[in-house]
A and B are shown apart, each in its own frame.
Chain A
């Protein structure tokens, strides 16, 4: 009995050690990033299904231009990167990485659209801190998180999940990767899914 308890307790302890509670935050953000601590990994239910059309939307972007998902139909594969909120640790440590892989998107005839529920002025300041991004950043601020909600990615506290959605040239959802909000999704997901989408149009 004691042995079983010992094993159980040590398993819990080892799990705590092995669980990544950290992130490699860049010095670029210094102390301007708010740390919300550990959050419930996933707090919503997907409303979209792989193999079905992705809900269309039009959202304002940071450049002032309005972006419509269906405008890429028959022309480009689309990756939507939903991140929970501006000025939070993992999000600030995600898009700057995408900023150096434009060639991977180009090779797979794809565009990347970044989306958060923040308003444009907040996104403006945050993106400036990251430097110039090559991809459009869209604001799903008003009606609050309506696009995120249509996809089933709006959490109960009004921010979104950390999710990557892969939509092909026909507007069909090919893959949805909803990660633990506390963890950055691996780049491998993007590379693998882009190649799959590009190889089987």
Chain B
């Protein structure tokens, strides 16, 4: 009887734990979830994000003052339509000596395999880093948001990323999006 009770209690807590993975999207003022990104082989991308290619890395390892994370999918028509604007945003950041080293941009393909991310990268000639999230691990960490979704965070004095922008929808206009990011982050 005791064993049965213990089993039921254990099952209850296990299932509670299993469904407790449902989380809300990151809110402004909160810390960015501890996302683990796949290892990078490309030396240029390693240099851009300031990480070594020795294995998977945490988003906390990224060097910079602001990080912009695009949650996308190659299967998402709005992400496809928004791709040129996100490319333009990256170009604008890279063309500005003031912010080039400070703002880092990356994309996470929700439910997309390496091949699927590569298809998106090649189709839209994306030159900023895109990562696979085939098992929806990061997608779950950010509250299973619809795509496209943008999260921007700023590093505080203790080195933690604090979210200051978290919104559903494409950026649509690179200039106004960058202006918003610079205003909100104070860069």
Interface residues of A (CB under 8 A from B): 1-2, 5-6, 9-10, 12-13, 16-18, 20, 22-28, 93-94, 96-97, 99-101, 130-131, 184, 186-188, 191
Contact = CB atoms under 8 A, between A and B. Distances in A.
Contacts of A16: 14-15, 18-19
Contacts of A22: 111, 136, 139-140, 144
B11 A24 contact: no
A94 B74 CA distance: 9
Contacts of B103: none
B119 A27 contact: no
B15 A13 contact: yes
Contacts, number: 107
Contact of B120 (A28, A94, A100, A184): A100
A131 B77 contact: yes
B10 interface: yes
B80 interface: yes
Contacts of A17: 17-18, 21
Given A16-B18, A22-B140, A24-B75, A96 B80 contact: yes
Contacts of B119: 100-101, 187
Nearest to B148: A27
Interface in B137-187: 139-140, 144, 146-149, 168-170
User: At the interface, is chain A mostly helix, strand, loop or mixed?
Assistant: helix
B113 interface: yes
- Nearest first, the 4 closest Cβ-Cβ pairs linking A and B are A13-B14, A26-B76, A24-B110, A97-B75
Given A27-B146, A186-B113, A96 B75 contact: yes
A22 B18 CA distance: 14
A130 B79 CA distance: 12
Interface residues of B, number: 42
29 contacts: A2-B6, A5-B7, A9-B10, A9-B11, A13-B17, A16-B14, A16-B18, A24-B110, A24-B111, A24-B112, A24-B139, A26-B73, A26-B76, A26-B146, A27-B169, A28-B78, A94-B75, A96-B76, A97-B74, A97-B116, A99-B77, A100-B80, A131-B77, A131-B81, A184-B75, A187-B74, A187-B119, A188-B113, A188-B115
Contacts of A20: 111, 135-136
A100 B77 CA distance: 10
B123 interface: yes
A23 B60 CA distance: 26
B3 A2 contact: yes
Contacts of A5: 3, 6-7, 10
Contacts of A186: 113, 115-116
A16 B110 CA distance: 19
A53 B69 CA distance: 48
Q: Which of A27, A28, A100 has the most CB of B within 10 A?
A: A27
Interface string B11-28: 100110111010000000
A24 B132 CA distance: 13
